[in-house]
């Protein structure tokens, strides 16, 4: 049995520069990953997927999970048989802006690569990842990076590993397509220069405003996070999960305790940058 972690992805900054003729958007985004997330295991056998964990119900009735699509694409690209007994232990909320499905697909690709003696940095894996979704290449890389194009052109960066992070989701699923459609089309400028933390602090998330309009609960999350004295509080991806970065783990834990007491139904994860 092979086990692969599928850590949550956060967009420390996400600049939408233009709508493209192919229906996608030109992005500049600062990807980072935390130490917690889902878990994917692979065992020999006919292709199947079992979903467990606290957010398994969010994927019930999903006919073609990204894990299965990744397995089929791997077999086609590398000429292997289509197989694998997958178990997805789902700990990340679904449709929440932290790359849960993309991270799961990337973990499946890494597991299949290990099972078939394929190098994890094989360009063919990244070709599969790009075809599966815009965030899947970054999740396959699994390292802090600047993403360009749709997010698939990656420049690996050195990030502030170990920095305390709090992730909060109000229990609202947000449609990525709807958020991008609601973007106002204004180019607010490129990513600034500097190290990763400086880029994050000087950057922005251009999808935050349309997401907040579609899901006002995001406003409440950001207000609660801002009250906890973070270095930075921002929405990730297309929402609705928001994150905050802290100088110390004690600051993070204090903020988490306050939010859990006030909003016990919100999902709240204390973690750290990988």
Q: Which residues are catalytic?
A: 9, 135
Cβ atoms within 10 Å, residue 69: 17
CA-to-CA distance for 140 and 107, rounded, in angstroms?
7
The number of CA neighbours under 13 Å toward the Cβ of 158 is 2
Dihedral pair phi/psi, residue 240, rounded to 5°: -95, 0
Which residues does 167 contact at the CB level (< 8 Å), separation at least 6?
A: 8, 10, 34, 98, 236, 241, 242, 243, 267, 268, 269, 271
The Cα diameter of the chain in Å comes to: 53
Coil/strand/helix, residue 227:
coil
Q: Is 30 exposed, middle or buried (0-12, 13-18, 19+ CB in 10 A)?
A: buried
Which residues does 145 contact at the CB level (< 8 Å), separation at least 6?
A: 30, 31, 138, 154, 155, 156, 157
Asked if 224 contacts 50 with a C-beta cutoff of 8 angstroms, the reply is no
């Amino acid at each position: 049995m092979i086990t692969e972690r599928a850590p949550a992805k956060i967009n420390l900054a996400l600049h939408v520069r233009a709508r493209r003729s192919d229906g996608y958007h030109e992005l500049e985004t600062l990807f980072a990953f935390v130490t917690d997330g889902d878990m994917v295991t692979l065992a020999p056998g006919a292709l199947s997927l079992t979903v467990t964990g606290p957010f398994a119900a969010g994927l019930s009735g999903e006919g073609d999970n990204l894990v299965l699509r990744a397995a089929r694409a791997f077999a086609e690209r590398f000429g292997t048989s289509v197989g694998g007994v997958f178990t997805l232990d789902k700990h990340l909320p679904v449709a929440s802006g932290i790359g849960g499905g993309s991270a799961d697909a990337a973990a499946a690709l890494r597991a299949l690569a290990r099972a078939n003696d394929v190098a994890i940095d094989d360009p063919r894996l990244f070709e599969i990842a790009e075809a599966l979704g815009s965030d899947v290449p970054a999740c396959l890389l699994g390292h802090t990076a600047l993403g360009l194009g749709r997010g698939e052109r990656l420049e690996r960066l050195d990030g502030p590993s170990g920095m305390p992070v709090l992730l909060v989701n109000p229990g609202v699923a947000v449609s990525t397509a709807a958020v991008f459609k609601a973007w106002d089309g204004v180019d607010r400028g490129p990513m600034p220069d500097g190290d990763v933390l400086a880029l994050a602090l000087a950057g922005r998330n251009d999808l935050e405003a349309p997401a907040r309009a579609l899901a006002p609960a995001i406003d409440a999350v950001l207000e609660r996070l801002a009250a906890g004295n973070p270095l930075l509080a921002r929405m990730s991806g297309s929402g609705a999960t928001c994150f905050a970065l802290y100088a110390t783990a004690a600051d993070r834990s204090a903020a988490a305790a306050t939010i859990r007491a006030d909003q016990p139904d919100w999902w709240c994860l204390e973690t750290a940058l990988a």
